[in-house]
Structure 1
């Protein structure tokens, strides 16, 4: 009996201890809102400098937590005449919301300026405040400050993609806009017809768009609306290169393309047929046994308003090695076993070939069994994949 009473007393003691522990671990909340904002100063002007600027620090007095819990902070921004019911931007502070300050980069300030409808090379005002929270309870700093932002001329962010359309371009509407080929970071290229009129460049074909125009110094800047660049064109195909690193737009007219066997015989003239393609139909393919054996090598001579270019393959002057590292030479007439890159097209001025005979670099060979037959030839400078050409024997 004594053992039973002792066991019962022990159980009661354990339950009392657990009850006491439960009471001591109740969540204790309570905090004071930050009393004031610290920086930037009221109505301070920040001239956004994308090239040399540093981060801007938004700082406020730290909240006091009554029970030592973590207080989190959120910073909200609105337009000059806004009341924060439809704020234009909000974000947690640094440290995942735990720090009593927020840093914004020049690029982020550009994005904020756009949301406030501050135009390129213009000045405008935003307002900001801080909201503190703990355990679901939210308290706002009573102080609200305004901040002047001066947005620079130029580009806030280099686009990942680029599209074109307009009255002076091959396609006229945003619904049919043509996408550029990205040839390196910040540099885009396209082959399309250009006539007198306007070309609009933008970073997207759907959704929110940023348009780009040439500013007063003839450098690319972001437009405030759906604006374009006035162009003068002949209706021929042009190579357009938009360089966001140099902030330039360069156009080169493609006046003529000849398919030249060896370095002297013109097999045919290709004309632009639209959608980035040049074509010649039903050309004869005589090999001309100049050296006592058939000569089947060829490449393309391109006449532009800047002079002559040669478009050809990656082969060296002996066609036994590649002038582009990693590509495989193919020194016989293509018969279906050639590498997939064989018909790729390159501007030979872009491929170093030191010590080689320029009359013979970048050659292709006509298809096996094509002597004295006819062919259709297409050069495809589409913006998806590599630039290529095709030789189709038709008899």
Structure 2
């Protein structure tokens, strides 16, 4: 009986093996239909790109059909007008990991597509797009093609989160580790107060890394990304306020000739603060409060002499946080925080000296460094 059972089991196994050799078990590629209709965006639609990580354009098309009733996968592909998509400018999977018949394409990606097609920053140009449906290894490209007119970004689509200045002409030298940081003043906007040396190169980096992205300007107006080493220099050694706006790809370089203690009651500079390096100005002098009928006036701020188009221009630094009282030992550090003022006035946005300063030798420092709040220090000697 046992032998009969073994024979039956072996016979069944052999039959199964033979069945597995039939054509029914051979792999067959599943047929899929091409997409026959593109819904969004409309043909020849114009899209103006904006620098925002959340901005996107919605794409939608008719679903493809597959022979086995399963869901197709989709790719949106872009090419130059007249291209056949064999070497696309860009391609991306649709929503839901490729299974949805729609996709949100970010403005950052669309800007990359425009740049790849030869569109210059801030200009517009046409590209074309279509959809490829697939099921297994079977890929079907839609015969429907639409054009998209892209107004590319004035600035950069991929904006750094941080920024540094480095190079022989900078205060930090050539070592990336000692590069000086910019302060981010708004999304995509950075500034630094620093000394630059004429005849020696410097460059802007997006991080302290040997593989950092590099940025430069060759006219002190337009900001560009460097594909290789640059030779950016200033014509005159000096202290500068450098402002970069990646949103519109611009650079502003303003020389700062001097900073002085502006004493509001006398409407004049009491003494200047020589530049000490790395965003710090510091000087010593005697501050004597002005006697008024109501008491002694101690209001002050700082005044800068800058250079614009070869002409001296006066600007002021004042209180970031409004105040109308003298500081004490218990005052919050924010009392001393500094901002660049939009207009020059005698009294607005001022601080008040501590009473201990009156008639005493006092050292005053202005600290404009990118890795901390702009501030100033008042120390009675």
Band the TM-score falls in, shorter-chain normalisation: 0.5 to 0.7
In structure 2, the residue matched to 1:331 is 325
> Is contact 2:49–2:151 with CA below 8 Å preserved after alignment?
no
Task: Sort the Cα spacing of 1:295 and 1:142 in 2 relative to 1 into closer, same or farther, 3 A.
Answer: closer
Residue matched to 1:252: 254
More off after superposition, 152-161 vs 46-55:
46-55
For these two proteins, the number of residue pairs brought into alignment is 332
Aligned counterpart, 1:307: 313
Structure 1 residue 379: Cα displacement: 0.5
Secondary structure of the residue aligned to 1:64 is: coil
CA distances 1:200-253 after superposition (whole Å, capped 9, x unpaired): 23433337644334478x753543514547342533221111223443211211
Q: How does 1:113-192 map to 2 (within 5 A)?
A: 130=132, 132-133=134-135, 138-141=136-139, 154-157=154-157, 159=159, 160-173=161-174, 174-192=176-194
> Could you tell me how far apart the structure 1 residues matched to 2:359 and 2:251 are?
44
**Following TM superposition, by how much is the alpha carbon of 1:140 offset from its aligned partner in structure 2, in angstroms?**
3.6
Which of 346, 349, 352 is the matching residue for 1:359? Answer: 346
* Native 8 Å contact 1:189 1:241 kept in 2: yes
Evaluate the alpha carbon distance shift between residue 175 and residue 148 of structure 1 in structure 2; reply closer, same or farther with a 3 A threshold: farther
The alpha-carbon distance between structure 1 residues 208 and 113, as it changes in their structure 2 partners (threshold 3 A), is farther
Distance in 2 (alpha carbons) for counterparts of 1:48 and 1:223: 24
CA distance in 1, matches of 2:348, 2:360: 25
How many Å separate the matches in 1 of 2:273 and 2:214? 34
Is residue 339 of structure 2 the alignment partner of residue 346 of structure 1?
A: yes
Answer yes or no: is the 8 Å Cα contact 1:65–1:71 preserved in 2: no
Contact 1:130/1:140 (CA < 8 Å) preserved in 2?
no
SS for the counterpart of 1:310 is: strand
CA root-mean-square deviation: 4.9
Q: Secondary structure at the match of 2:342?
A: helix
Report the equivalent of 2:13: none
Measured in 2, the distance between the counterparts of 1:222 and 1:275 equals: 25
Give the secondary structure class of the aligned counterpart of 1:99: coil
Change (3 A) 1:376 1:141: same
* Unmatched segments (≥5 aa) in structure 1: 1-28, 40-45, 315-323, 352-357
TM-score of the two chains, using structure 2 as the length reference: 0.66
Gaps of 5+ in 2: 1-27, 39-44
Aligned-partner Cα distance in 2 for 1:176–1:188: 18
Q: Give the Cα–Cα distance (whole angstroms) in 2 for the partners of residues 181 and 77 of structure 1.
A: 37
- CA distance in 1 between counterparts of 2:230 and 2:338 reads 31
Deviations 1:121-148 (A, max 9, x none): 799x999995735xxxx32417699x99
Q: For the residues of structure 1 that align with 2:119 and 2:304, how far apart are their CA atoms? A: 42
Cα displacement (A) at 1:35: 5.2
Structure 1 residue 72, shift from structure 2 partner: 3.1
Query: Which of the residues 281, 295, 298 maps onto 1:296?
Result: 298
**Matched residue, 1:268:** 271
